[in-house]
Amino acid sequence: MSLTLAVILSISLIISSTYLTQTTFQRNNGKIAFNSDRDGNFEIYVMNADGSNVTRLTNNSDYDTVPWWSPDG
């Protein structure tokens, strides 16, 4: 199974009751950034590659989408 498919499947299991549109994986730190409307508005979250430690990074009324890692992680 490819790494990309494994990442998508892990995220799908974690947030299966929400709408997911964008994900990005950071190989250097093993984190996955994604956006989700799990709280009723699209916000950006980060979690470990194994699906643990989900943390919301944004919290505002705008639709926060397209998470991206800086080149230095």
Phi-psi region of 66 (alpha: psi -120 to 50; beta: other; left: phi over 0): left
Q: What are phi and psi of 56, to 5 degrees?
A: -80, 130
Given a cut of 90, whether residue 20 has pLDDT beyond it is no
Flag whether pLDDT at 2 surpasses 80: no
pLDDT, tens digit, for every residue of 22-71?
777 676 778 888 888 888 889 999 988 888 899 999 999 998 888 888 77
Q: Name the pTM for this structure.
A: 0.68
